[in-house]
Each structure stands twice: as C-alpha cells, then as structure tokens.
A and B are shown apart, each in its own frame.
Chain A
Amino acid sequence: QQQVKQSPQSLIVQKGGISIINCAYENTAFDYFPWYQQFPGKGPALLIAIRPDVSEKKEGRFTISFNKSAKQFSLHIMDSQPGDSATYFCAAWPAWGGADGLTFGKGTHLIIHP
C-alpha cells in the first residue's frame, strides 16, 4: 500500500514559470512533511519541510502549501530555473507508530526548459 501518492510523474516547465508538484497521504499520524531534491548520481537533499500546524511555508523560491483536512501538500517552485531540473520527492514521517524511517512518494522528474 502506497502511503504517499505523488503526482505528476514528470513535469516540463519553461524557464521563469511555476513548477507545482502534489502529494496526498492517508495516515493521519504523519506530522512531518519534507521535500527532497535529487540529482542523478547523488543522494536526496532536503529542500524544505513543514508540520501540519501551519498551512504554508516559504523559503526563497520554494513554497510548501499544506491542506490538513484534505491530507494533501504541494511544492511550488517560483521562477523555475534550468538548475532546478532534478527529481523531487515528497515524504512523510509519523509522530507515532509505523516504521522509524521516512515514507517517500515515487518522485517527480522535473525538466526546466531554458
């Protein structure tokens, strides 16, 4: 059972545009939601994370929007740049129960066209 569903699988955006990646979850015990960026041949690197007590968090060009009632969260990349081309993973961690590791989505392959 996939606990974190991520979409789209791939995304092409023009330089300067807004990239939007969505995730949905079912486990109400999840209380920490990070986004990771991964370049080919590298390990995932934390971009930004949110907890469900806030609806939005912004760091530079990256914003997480969180909808607790819908159990959905999304990553917005403003003014997308070619250097943002990478695979993005949403993830979740429960406050209690379940495994002690992150549950990841399947990833979104983002391409920014110059």
Chain B
Amino acid sequence: GAGVSQSPRYKVAKRGQDVALRCDPISGHVSLFWYQQALGQGPEFLTYFQNEAQLDKSGLPSDRFFAERPEGSVSTLKIQRTQQEDSAVYLCASSFRTPRGTEAFFGQGTRLTVV
C-alpha cells in the first residue's frame, strides 16, 4: 500500500481482556516502530524492529506488552490483561533505513479504550 496501515482503527476492550493490534508498514521499509499516544500528549516510544529483529523494547511499560514482526514486514502489538491505563492511541511508524535521523512515516493509529 501507499502508506502505513493499522487495524483495527478502534478497539474497545473489557478490563482483563487481551488485545492484538496490527501494523502493515510501507513495503520495503526496514525499520518499524510502535508508539503510545495518550490523550493530549505527544507519542511515546514503545519498541523498535529492524526487519524481524526487535532491537529495542525499552519503552514497553510492562511485561503485559509484547510485540513481534516474525517475517520482517507486518507487526503485531499484543497487550495482555488490559488495564484502564492502557487506553491510548497506538501508533505504528516505518522508515526505509535504520532508525536514527531518517524520516518515519506514521499510520493513523489504533484507538484502544479499556472499559
């Protein structure tokens, strides 16, 4: 596709439920990032993949958060036992080269609401 695609656009989960958020990066992009954006705040870095390798997961807030990119293209962010504080927009971004100082293209995000 022409841009980064994320699905679903909206997700409502009951507290304690597991959720999976999908990201389709731009074809050929080596780098893939996940960010969390709370209401009225800037995006916060969660994790980074270079192809299929997860090179940085320093931003994941707890061990309930897990991300994978098994074939170096599509990525899934999974949140287990969701809590209300997990409510946010989850953004995926990709870039053509390795990460630092290159343009990152963002998807529209998945808005997660935990009730």
- Residues of A near any B CB (own CB < 8 A): 6, 31-32, 34, 36, 41-46, 49, 51, 89, 91, 93-95, 99-107
Task: State whether B48 touches A107 (Cβ < 8 A).
Answer: no
- Shortest Cβ gap from B19 to chain A (Å): 19
State the total of A-B contacts with C-beta under 8 angstroms: 69
A1–chain B nearest beta-carbon distance, Å = 13
> In the assembled complex, which residues on chain B have CB atoms less than 8 Å from the CB atom of A101?
33, 35, 45-46, 48, 56, 59, 99
CB of B56 within 8 A of CB of A95, answer no
Which of B41, B45, B58 sits near A102, CB closer than 8 Å? B45
Is A104 a contact partner of B44 (Cβ separation < 8 A)?
Answer: yes
B42 sits at the interface (CB 8 A): yes
CA distance A102 to B62 in the complex (A): 20
Contact A32 B56 (CB under 8 A): no
B109 at the interface (CB under 8 A from A): yes
Q: State whether A95 and B108 are in contact (beta carbons under 8 Å apart), knowing that A101-B56, A104-B44 are contacts in the complex.
A: no
Cα-based distance from A106 to B4 in the complex (angstroms): 23
Determine if B58 and A99 form an interchain contact, defined as CB atoms under 8 angstroms apart: yes
Do B103 and A100 touch (CB < 8 A)?
A: no
